[in-house]
Structure 1
Amino acid sequence: MTRAILLLFLSTHILLAQTAKISGNVANTSQQPLDGAVISLLKSKDSTFVKAAITESNGNFEFLNVKEGSYLISISHLTYQKYLSKAFEVGQSDLALPSIQLREGEKMLAEVKVTGKKPFVETKIDRTVINVDALISNAGTNALDVLEKSPGLAIDPNGGIRLKGKTGVVVFIDDKPTYLSAEDLSNYLKSLAAGSVETIEIMPNPPAKYDAAGNAGVINIRLKKNTVKGFNGGLSLSYGQGTYRRSNNSFNFNYRINKFNFFSNLSVNQNNSYQDLTIWRRYFQPNTTIFSSAFTQNSYIQRNIGGNNAKVGFDYYASKKATFGVVLTGFINPSHVDVTNKAKVFNASNEVTSLVEAISPTDKTLKNGSINLNYAYKLDSTGKELSTNVDYIHYQATTAQSLTNSLFDAQNKFVSQSVLVSSLPTNIDIGTAKIDYVHPLASGGKFETGVKTSFISTGNVADFSDQVDGKLFPNYEFTNSFNYNENINAGYLNYAKELNRLTIQAGLRFENTNIRGHQLGNKQTKDSSFTRNYNNLFPTLYMQYRLDSAAVHLLGFSFGRRIERPNYQDMNPFSYPLDRFTYYGGNPFLQPTFSYNFELSHTFKQRITTTLQYSIAKNVISETNEQRGTIYYSRPGNFGQRISYGISVNGSFQLAKWWSLNLYTEYISNGFKATLYGQKLDDSRFYWAVVPTNQFQLKDGWAAELAGSYQTTFLLGQLLIYPIGNVRAGVSKRIMKNKGTLKLNVSDVFYTNQIKGDIRNIANAEANWFSYLDTRVATLTFSYRFNKGKTLNLRQTGGSDSEKSRVKA
């Protein structure tokens, strides 16, 4: 296979050698480089569009793979007059154009207010980019709220993320994975202010440079990092009121002086909310439909989640070729959760036999600290670059919890009480190192390669005690200690080439995985351990073809093989109680999920993208549910197979000068096949979802937004989720000479974003639930930005590409 890949790369390179590169530089009349100018390459004969480019921060631009002929270029910039060059000839040799100077425009300010606004959604060959500040309703919210509004993404009440109907999404922050379980990731994203987020990159099939983790794809959240000289940045302050209050505040700044560039991103947040959850369970005599008993439970859960996040770092530009950087990140996120459960137990005559009340307060503090050292060296002026990243990440979680169960008879007379006290410390250490090399080819293609290694060590202690008459006695049924070690070694090759109207990007990644888990046991339970070792190849392929020279119609294709490894703590075999009737446990027999993902797309005028998708996954990791007597067990398990296919459309429409609409919709089938605890599951179902976002640009700095979402019944393994939808609205006003903005928005205006569903394929039982959430929130936000100076290139740092998303602290 290696020979075949190299032969493909070499033959393509030779075939396309008869082209040239055009390069140039754009500045203003003060000789300052202009960033973001749009350069259009046109045929001189009839001004037919050939291709476009955008200037870098240093004003440079280039066109690759240009055929021989006569051309001219057109340049446009928001605050400068349009430029049209004279005709020039391109031969077989590369052409460097003379420096171009643009004159300032006289009446451009009014245009900047409209055309200078970034679109909500941008589509690229291997990802979709969401510009967070484009939506008024994102102001004063948190990163999880932003994800929920993004096309193709859905969030369940436990914080699980679905991308186009599929679970198994890996979340990165600035190209570095979060290493957190669904619940802890949800709490972290709630602690991260939306004002700290620049963009969200959605990649169903990430390039080979990214770790192969995430069978549904990767979401990369890029935090704001100012890129101009001097002292500059932004401030965002907010207050939100639902049933409970919340506040998300952020501050980011950048200071560039001489060869040093200092940057920081800080946020302080408090998010208080509730969940009112009711569960019904009905039991039947074995292998019959004869009713035997029932159980109903109402849980009122009040959550108080704090967040204190910091990212600081600097880049040192040692020379024009060498840059060294250090990035420090960390957070301290305290939380307090009060759970009050009230349950009724019924007999076969549907009469109440007992009442149970459970009170469970939990105090948890999750801490994180990490350091990244990065170095980049430009080998020559053609773009050859060698970069290295070394990361060390430490997580520490301390959890103190108690569970008080009180039992009453049918007449509500006290019968008995039990108190279970627990301390659950967790420590996770992660080290990663990687080297990447970029090599532009003379024909205009680009070759990339790199290697990476990562080491993960986790220690989890569950110390449970029964409290009797104020004294504590060890509970060995639940007490345990679990250690986990993992090493992943990887290497990749990636090749990209633009062939006239066809753009190709192909990659291959190899990963070697080594795992060891050790459950230490206790006086009642023996030690146990397991090991896993496996090697895998992960190919990726992207193709984009322009059907016409003006790129009115674009065809795209992507393919990728992905893996989802189990969360570290999910392989701990012990169980622990959530309440008297519900236990949660791990599964040491979990296998990784492997998936094959295909997408075929058509884009019209860069405004409407229609995508056909197909995905097949084996050993899908998902929550499973089992009933044993009166105890309900929830644990991760492997579903035999999931097949997902369907169509999605994302369109941007300018309905009027003042009214724009972004409309996303998908119609997708999810099918599951598995045998769970003796019960066969073989079911598939289509669902439909639609997400319209209306934006209104009004006079005198006013703007408004009206948006929402709706999803029909959705199948997710054993869960059947009923239709759900919401409407949100917002208004904004620019103030302080357009440097400040006031925004007011209301989420879930009609309080319809409440989830309910059924739990199916449980032996001799059936269950369903309904959940009220604190989703209707009014938020007032003030934001202020200050900047001046010359734009600098953004640098991507971080070498830990998938490990963070799997921590379950």
Structure 2
Amino acid sequence: MLKHFTLSFFLGLFVLAASATDHAYGSTNKPNSPKETNIGGTIIADNKPIVGAVVYLLKDTGSHIVKTTLTDNDGKFNFTYLPEKFRIKVNALGYNDYISEVKTPGSDIAVILTPSDKSMSSVTVVSQRKLVEVKTDKTVINVDAAPTNIGTTALEVLEKAPGVVVDKDGNISMLGKAGVVIMIDGKPTYMSSADVANYLKSLSSNQLDQIELITQPSAKFDAAGNAGIINIKTKNNKPMGTNGSVGATYSQGVNRRLSLNGSLGYRKGKLNLFGSANYFDNMSFNQIDLSRNIRNVNTKDIVSVLKQSTTMGVHVKPFNTKFSLDYLASQNTSLGMSFSGNFNDNFFTLPTRMEVSNSSGVLQGVYNSNTQNAMSISNIIGNIYWKTKLDTTGRELTADLDYIRNSSDFKQEMSSYYYPQLNNPAETPYILKGINPSIINVYSAKVDYVHPFKKEGKLEAGLKASFVETDNNSAFKVLKNNNWEVDPRSNEFIYKENIYAAYVNGSKQWKKWGAQLGLRLENTIMNGNQVTTQQQFNRNLLQLFPTAFVSYKASDLSTFTINFGRRIDRPNYRDLNPFQLLLNPFTYNQGNPNLRPQFTNNAELGYSYKNGMITAKLGFSRTTDIITDIIRANDAEKVTYQTRENIASRDNINLSLGYNKSINSVITTGLFANIYQNKYKGLFNNEPLDEQYTSFSFNMNNQFKFKKGWSAELNGFYNHKNLLLAQAFIEPMWQIGFGISKQVFNNKGTIRLSARDIFFGQKVRINQQFQNLDSRFQQYADSRHVALSFTFRFAKNASNVVRRNGGASQEEQNRVGN
């Protein structure tokens, strides 16, 4: 009953929003509508019509795009527009850009383009793009603009992003706040934070085009992500004709990395095709040293001292592929489909040695264990979209259908031996083997409607529904008396979730003021079933998420903004499952079916000078029921395990400062600093938790552009000591990198050489003292690398056309667990 009521309510809300705008502003087909004027013309070059040239209709100032269209097979274009002064701008690959003087509606416009001396620049000279572009609603990072990004993974590229911090487990925070939603081409990754990290480690930087950092999304986006959204845009087909690239990268640290990639695009007339493939062979290691003092809960005296050392060898061999098709069915309607797949074979070994001593430091024994894990992961995302312009005023309707399937096959073998001081086995060895197949299916659909106002404004409305089904079956056996017996931790967990959403978002621009107000309604229905223990839970949440944005342009140089938004973070699917994942006999991870969503209220005050040359942002957020990682110790079994719990509220205050400027024709510099304070308050193990700490981070990037196709980069970051939670402090971590690149073969090829983490400063050290556990953790990985790459591009060029990104899924991918 509730489901039908919710769907009916959302549908009614959508219809009312659309009809209300028609009533308020009038349909263009009504007799009383102002008369429209056709603005048309022809684009010619070399005495021939130019097909597919991009034509922009601009305000008379030349700074505001009103409409965009493409020339037809005869080189003609046409706009239907209300009479006023305007300009025309034309962009066609291989020709110089054209922009007209101020015009008024009248006779047809004839444009003759002149050949460009840099006919390949928009395809091949990637070094001309700025590394960081600061916009009013987001910060954009152009990945190829940095030579040091070659030979790296997507996660390593994010480590250098302004205001972004990646911890030892690959968890990503932004401006001092955890809870970031990671999206790929406008679609969520449908994975938990740990699995997102593994996915980004398997994604080569060669596949990336841009990274968008959005700290305050509008109501059009899913409400998930209290710290905002990071959208990773992969490379896609832009120019017409046939074009493509092939490339290879070799990187050497302690171990080697090899990446091979290629892409091919074809666009002619109404059809646009694009495909790409990337193979990545990555060998790496992690050296982990952990010492723990386990204390008596009451007296706080040391009971046991554990010293553990693990060298993790990792071999990852992902294969990524992407295919898209777009078809222009008519001048106003387009449709298409896309497919992307990530197929990843992981193999890692964890030889571990743990020494156990008593409170006096006398050695009691040694555990030696070896764990071998093999995991095959496939993540498939399919999208079908349809988009149509309803009339010449810009009213637009789009629809998306997404299907996502994430499957994994995890196999584990573990053997552990205990030795007393005389090095003779005193116990029967602990030998375990297990399999953990997991399947997650996601079905998602959405409809979006856009209704422009007559004077620089618009109203947006939309509906979305998503359906998630997960089945996680864990089967473990232990060897006892030469017989394999079922281990008690074996279980099957089935989870189903439906989310229904509707939103309305309106924006308006005046001379100096701009405003945007939005409201999103989300209804979440959750059902979990622990098959083995017959434990079940059913939850139903109906929540409103308002957003508000106001901007003021004080002058041509200065702009102020203020915004507010409410966000939600739902537990990851895997984190709701009480399944235990063993790293070794005395360390494991365990889920928690009692997790609740966390909610955040965000407010930001921003300032921009000279279109982002200098930026400043002051933010405050309050998060309730924080979902966080907790480390607990079991003294009797000498075991430490990690789980997730809702334990506290958090207040975050952050101040970020940015500077991006081309100093001269050679040097462009970018500096970013973020100062933030996190304050936690709540209960942990029935004891009050009241902690706060102020920290900061700093990013630097300098680009150098020389003659004859040479360019270089010097970058680095520093993350100061920071409070994780419950008296756990992560010590400072930093990195310096350098790279050079050279355009070759008439700008069709690029050679890059880079060095990353030159001084090996990216080491993780964590100290914790809380309740009955003192721990000291140190980890260093194969982060220092030298990489060499070569990319060759080919194209038969015309004009640029960018494929539409974004689909029905906006949040669910970030919550899959593997």
TM-score under structure 2 length normalisation: 0.89
Which of 630, 634, 645 in structure 2 is aligned with 1:628? Answer: 634
Number of the residue aligned with 1:156: 167
1:541 matched to 2:553: no
For residue 424 of structure 1, report the CA deviation from its aligned partner. 0.6
Q: Distance in 1 between matches of 2:482 and 2:707?
A: 68
One-letter amino acid matched to 1:446: K
For residue 325 of structure 1, report the CA deviation from its aligned partner. 1.1
What fraction of aligned residue pairs are identical, expressed as a percent?
31
For each residue in 1:334-374, what CA deviation from the matched residue of structure 2 results, as whole angstroms up to 9, or x when unmatched?
A: 00010011111111111111111111000000012232221
Describe the shift of the 1:710–1:86 C-alpha distance in structure 2 as closer, same or farther (beyond 3 A): closer
3-state SS of paired residue (1:320): coil
1:101 matched to 2:111: yes
- Listed as ranges, the matches of 1:253-264 within 5 Å are 253-264=264-275
1:290 matched to 2:301: yes
Question: Structure 1 stretch 211-220 or stretch 436-445: which is displaced more?
Answer: 436-445
Number of the residue aligned with 1:589: 594
Number of the residue aligned with 1:376: 387
Question: Structure 1 stretch 614-623 or stretch 629-638: which is displaced more?
Answer: 629-638
Number of the residue aligned with 1:272: 283
For residue 414 of structure 1, report the CA deviation from its aligned partner. 2.1
One-letter amino acid matched to 1:181: S
1:471 matched to 2:483: yes
Describe the shift of the 1:18–1:637 C-alpha distance in structure 2 as closer, same or farther (beyond 3 A): farther
3-state SS of paired residue (1:414): coil
1:805 matched to 2:814: yes
Describe the shift of the 1:390–1:73 C-alpha distance in structure 2 as closer, same or farther (beyond 3 A): closer
3-state SS of paired residue (1:741): strand
Question: Structure 1 stretch 249-258 or stretch 23-32: which is displaced more?
Answer: 23-32
Number of the residue aligned with 2:340: 329
Number of the residue aligned with 1:431: 443
Q: Distance in 1 between matches of 2:156 and 2:302?
A: 42
3-state SS of paired residue (1:186): helix
Number of the residue aligned with 1:779: 787
Is the Cα–Cα contact under 8 Å of residues 93 and 800 in structure 2 kept in the other structure? no
Number of the residue aligned with 1:739: 748
One-letter amino acid matched to 1:759: Q
1:32 matched to 2:50: yes
Describe the shift of the 1:782–1:63 C-alpha distance in structure 2 as closer, same or farther (beyond 3 A): farther
For residue 87 of structure 1, report the CA deviation from its aligned partner. 5.4
Describe the shift of the 1:178–1:147 C-alpha distance in structure 2 as closer, same or farther (beyond 3 A): same
Is the Cα–Cα contact under 8 Å of residues 41 and 74 in structure 1 kept in the other structure? no
- Listed as ranges, the matches of 1:674-713 within 5 Å are 674-713=682-721
Which of 653, 659, 669 in structure 2 is aligned with 1:651? Answer: 659
3-state SS of paired residue (1:144): helix
Number of the residue aligned with 1:46: none
For each residue in 1:428-478, what CA deviation from the matched residue of structure 2 results, as whole angstroms up to 9, or x when unmatched?
A: 1111111111222223321111111111010111111112365311112x1
One-letter amino acid matched to 1:575: Q
For each residue in 1:351-407, what CA deviation from the matched residue of structure 2 results, as whole angstroms up to 9, or x when unmatched?
A: 111111111000000012232221112222222221111111111110110121110
Is the Cα–Cα contact under 8 Å of residues 339 and 361 in structure 1 kept in the other structure? yes
3-state SS of paired residue (1:424): strand
One-letter amino acid matched to 1:557: I
For residue 251 of structure 1, report the CA deviation from its aligned partner. 1.7
Q: Distance in 2 between matches of 1:277 and 1:61?
A: 65
Which of 729, 735, 743 in structure 2 is aligned with 1:720? Answer: 729
Describe the shift of the 1:198–1:627 C-alpha distance in structure 2 as closer, same or farther (beyond 3 A): same
Q: Distance in 2 between matches of 1:528 and 1:633?
A: 22
1:615 matched to 2:621: yes
Is the Cα–Cα contact under 8 Å of residues 303 and 335 in structure 1 kept in the other structure? yes
1:789 matched to 2:807: no
Number of the residue aligned with 1:499: 510
Q: Distance in 1 between matches of 2:437 and 2:133?
A: 43
Which of 571, 584, 589 in structure 2 is aligned with 1:579? Answer: 584
Question: Structure 1 stretch 489-498 or stretch 727-736: which is displaced more?
Answer: 489-498
Is the Cα–Cα contact under 8 Å of residues 94 and 120 in structure 2 kept in the other structure? no
Describe the shift of the 1:37–1:371 C-alpha distance in structure 2 as closer, same or farther (beyond 3 A): closer
For residue 542 of structure 1, report the CA deviation from its aligned partner. 2.1
Is the Cα–Cα contact under 8 Å of residues 176 and 654 in structure 2 kept in the other structure? no
Please tell me the root mean square deviation across aligned C-alpha atoms, in Å. Answer: 3.3
Q: Distance in 2 between matches of 1:57 and 1:87?
A: 19
Which of 201, 216, 220 in structure 2 is aligned with 1:209? Answer: 220
Q: Distance in 1 between matches of 2:621 and 2:99?
A: 47
For residue 754 of structure 1, report the CA deviation from its aligned partner. 0.5
For structure 1, the 5+ residue unaligned runs are 43-48, 90-94
1:556 matched to 2:566: no
Number of the residue aligned with 1:661: 669
For structure 2, the 5+ residue unaligned runs are 1-12, 27-32, 72-76
Number of the residue aligned with 1:420: 432
TM-score under structure 1 length normalisation: 0.90
Number of the residue aligned with 1:510: 521
Residue-pair matches, total? 786
Which of 127, 132, 150 in structure 1 is aligned with 2:138? Answer: 127
For residue 805 of structure 1, report the CA deviation from its aligned partner. 0.6
3-state SS of paired residue (2:158): helix
1:409 matched to 2:427: no
Is the Cα–Cα contact under 8 Å of residues 270 and 329 in structure 2 kept in the other structure? yes
For residue 574 of structure 1, report the CA deviation from its aligned partner. 3.7
For residue 797 of structure 1, report the CA deviation from its aligned partner. 4.3
Number of the residue aligned with 1:398: 409
For residue 35 of structure 1, report the CA deviation from its aligned partner. 6.5
